[in-house]
Amino acid sequence: MKSTRAIVMILLSLLVGAVAVVLASRWVGQQNADNSTQVVVAARDLDLGAPMTAQMLQVIPWPAGAAPAGSFTDVKKLEGRVIRTLVFKGEPILEAKLAPEGTKGGLPSVIQDGRRAISVKVNEVVGVAGFALPGSFVDVMVNTRDDKEKPVSKIVLRRILVLAVAQEANRDETKPKVVNAVTLEVTPEDAEKIDLARSIGTLSLVLRNPIDRKDLETAGVRRDDLLNQASTPAPVHVPAPVRVASNTRPKADVAPRPVPSVVTVEVIRGVQKANSEF
């Protein structure tokens, strides 16, 4: 009898404990639900210019007070929208990273407002050995002739974004790629400068650090600048002569002795001649 009562008490304790665990988990879940929200993130790495589908996205809980500005809670609102920056797996989808609604995919969708895209013909040298990749920044330099028909090289544009190389706009590649054309994102005024520069000379791209925002103005380099710099010899320092003190007194000036004058007389005696000096 006592054993039966003990078994019943154990079963009741287990039942009460299970109910308590269920109620506690529900309470904790309710508290988490009250303190969190839903945020749409990328289910995989997304390439820029690609329209999004439901398979590319997923919804995860996010702390309510730390939700990113411009985030989304519904996947349906993002279907068909185009990304204009590279998005990695698990990264929230933000309005600032999307092209305007109704924009079709492709390179035009990644061009910033007020900007234009222009392509420049390059080779292995002009294209910085293939290191000018999408997402990198370059300076544009032109080699032409000045008003005096003398060669000059001058940087005309600075910190220009590379949108694409050939037909590739993927920015997650780091391997150099030698192509024959590079597409740059520029302002309308810069597009006019590039079009004029490539008609009056040859263009070169100068790769720069993406975090370097300093724009150093240069006057350009001419042939005379190179030759004068190369041919000007370095100044030679000649030591001054050292004067040594002497203990000897300088000799007094001695007037030269006068040379006595000599008179020659020719004496003729018959057929004989003789000279006598006095």
DSSP notation for 41-82: EESS-B-TTPBP-GGGEEEEEEEGGGPPTTB-S-GGGGTT-B
pLDDT-above-90 percentage for the chain: 9
CB 98 within 8 A of CB 108: no
Amino acid letter at 37? T
Q: Is the pLDDT of residue 83 over 90?
A: no
What is the pLDDT, as a whole number, of residue 192?
A: 93
For the ranges 32-36, 119-123, 218-222, which has the lowest average pLDDT? 32-36
Q: Is the pLDDT of residue 24 over 70?
A: yes
Please give the average per-residue pLDDT across 10-38, as a whole number: 74
Q: Is the pLDDT of residue 191 over 80?
A: yes
Please give the average per-residue pLDDT across 62-88, as a whole number: 85
What is the pLDDT, as a whole number, of residue 195?
A: 92
Q: Is the pTM of this model over 0.75?
A: no
3-state helix, strand, coil in the chain (%, to 5): 25, 30, 45
Q: 47: which 2 tokens?
A: 């390439």
Q: Render pLDDT for 46-61 as a digit per residue (tens, 0 to 9).
A: 877 778 888 999 998 8
Q: What span, in angstroms and rounded, lies between the C-alpha atoms of 140 and 118? A: 13
Please give the average per-residue pLDDT across 76-98, as a whole number: 86
Q: Strand, helix or coil at 79? A: coil
Q: What span, in angstroms and rounded, lies between the C-alpha atoms of 30 and 17? A: 20
Q: Is the pLDDT of residue 232 over 60?
A: no
Give the rounded distance of the alpha carbon of 196 from its chain centre: 24
Q: Render pLDDT for 150-186 as a digit per residue (tens, 0 to 9).
A: 888 899 899 999 888 876 666 666 667 777 888 899 9
Amino acid letter at 206? V
Q: 129: which 2 tokens?
A: 């050995």
Q: Render pLDDT for 239-270 as a digit per residue (tens, 0 to 9).
A: 666 565 555 555 555 556 665 566 666 766 66
Residue of 219, 223, 203 whose CA lies nearest to 139: 203
Please give the average per-residue pLDDT across 189-214, as a whole number: 88
What is the pLDDT, as a whole number, of residue 234?
A: 53
What is the pLDDT, as a whole number, of residue 14?
A: 81
What is the pLDDT, as a whole number, of residue 196?
A: 92
What is the pLDDT, as a whole number, of residue 17?
A: 81
Residue of 85, 82, 83, 37 whose CA lies nearest to 62: 37
What is the pLDDT, as a whole number, of residue 114?
A: 87
Beta strand ranges found along 107-195 (DSSP E): 116-121, 137-145, 151-165, 181-186
- Distances in whole angstroms, Cα of residue 171 to Cα of each of 136, 193, 223: 9, 26, 39
Please give the average per-residue pLDDT across 183-211, as a whole number: 89
Amino acid letter at 86? L
Q: 211: which 2 tokens?
A: 């975090």
Q: 97: which 2 tokens?
A: 């990273």
Q: Is the pLDDT of residue 104 over 70?
A: yes
Amino acid letter at 136? S
